[in-house]
Structure 1
Amino acid sequence: MKKLSIIIYYIFIKHLPNSKYIRLFNCVRILYVSKILKVMPYDKNSIFEDNIYISNCSQLRIGKACQINEGVFIQGASIGDYVMIAPNVSILNESHTFQRTDIPMVFQPTTPKSNPVIDDDVWIGRNAVILPGVHIGRGSIIGAGAVVTKNIPPYSVAVGVPAKVIRSRI
């Protein structure tokens, strides 16, 4: 049943038009991911836009009142409450290994899954990449295009490739 639910998500629900055209489409997506896929609680303040990749849902938890924009790619994560994720963000929970040079990288194994943890009240800017296993502290801001390779302390502003903390919000 779970596989059928995810197939329906990818065939129909994911492709409903953006809610800037008709708010009803966001409501349908929120109902589906909360009641059928069970990855987040139902909350009328949540936004879950079109074309969001959510893997198979087994490694994903999303909190209440989150805003996830179009084109976001989530392999797996623990996402807190009141999180804003801009378009085209990638949140990864595994990567490829490349240590051996005697075989092509495409045939090498992946790393063990390690979900990123994104605490409450975080804002992730457009095109940011969150790598496996990182922890983004409460109240932090991740700048557009940043690549988060290490943990970010609470209430920090981090930008760049790799992301570096440039200031504290407190």
Structure 2
Amino acid sequence: MYQKLIWGVYYGIFYNLPHSRFVPFTRALRVWYVSKVLKLMPYSKNSFLEYNVYLSNGKNVEIGADCQINENVFIQGAKIGNNVLIAPNVAILSNSHNHNNIEIPIRNQGESDPNPPIIEDDVWLGRNVVVMPGVVIGKGSIIGAGAVVTKSVVPYSVMGGVPAKLIKMRK
């Protein structure tokens, strides 16, 4: 009951607070609530959490220190490292629909078990990126706008496209 209440407060109030461009202190309020009440991230004045950030029920969500998460981000589940930048409209998925039996409608086959992706430290996910379940995005990588990450990414890679492919190495 208590868990439902604290999540209800997040989605009923903090999730919907205005963008910090209009009301600057709302970013700090969201960071405070997500760190101190939901306990999904350490508290830091350098963290950045905008409006409309979906965090599922928090069971498979862990966010590191000093992360910047912009508006309209969907995090179904993930382990996110420190100093990660997440641009607007990113989707980070941890499970999918089962679809192996063609005799049963997909919607009746249930969902796969959660397999949260791991986003290591100092990663930048560009606008509209989709991260699929189970992938690991290595430290210091950049994922270009609109990319769909279907396979794990080695550290310090610059990736782009659908599906995401290596563009160059940062080192």
Question: How far apart, in 2, do the equivalents of 1:2 and 1:111 lie?
Answer: 24
Alignment of 1:8-157 (within 5 A): 8-157=9-158
Structure 2 residue runs without a partner (length 5+): none
Deviation of 1:98 after TM superposition, in Å, equals 1.1
Deviation of 1:58 after TM superposition, in Å, equals 1.1
Deviation of 1:76 after TM superposition, in Å, equals 0.6
**Count of aligned pairs between the two proteins:** 170
Cα distance per residue 1:53-89 (max 9 Å; x no partner): 0000111110111000000000110000000000000
Structure 1 residue runs without a partner (length 5+): none
Cα distance per residue 1:15-34 (max 9 Å; x no partner): 00001112210111010000
TM-score, length of structure 1 as denominator length = 0.99
Following TM superposition, the consecutive aligned residue runs of length 4 or more in structure 1 with deviations greater than 4 angstroms are none
2:145 aligned counterpart, secondary structure: coil
The one-letter amino acid of 2:76's match is Q
Deviation of 1:162 after TM superposition, in Å, equals 0.4
Deviation of 1:124 after TM superposition, in Å, equals 0.1
2:62 aligned counterpart, secondary structure: strand
Deviation of 1:109 after TM superposition, in Å, equals 2.0
1:44 aligned counterpart, secondary structure: coil
In the alignment, structure 1 residue 3 sits paired with structure 2 residue 25: no
Over the matched positions of the two proteins, sequence identity in percent amounts to 54
Match of 1:163 in 2: 164
Question: How far apart, in 2, do the equivalents of 1:18 and 1:149 lie?
Answer: 31
1:29 aligned counterpart, secondary structure: helix
Question: How far apart, in 1, do the equivalents of 2:83 and 2:3 lie?
Answer: 27
Deviation of 1:165 after TM superposition, in Å, equals 1.0
Cα distance per residue 1:93-115 (max 9 Å; x no partner): 00011111111111012111101
- Alpha-carbon RMSD across the aligned residues, in angstroms, is 0.6
Question: How far apart, in 2, do the equivalents of 1:99 and 1:149 lie?
Answer: 19
The one-letter amino acid of 1:121's match is D
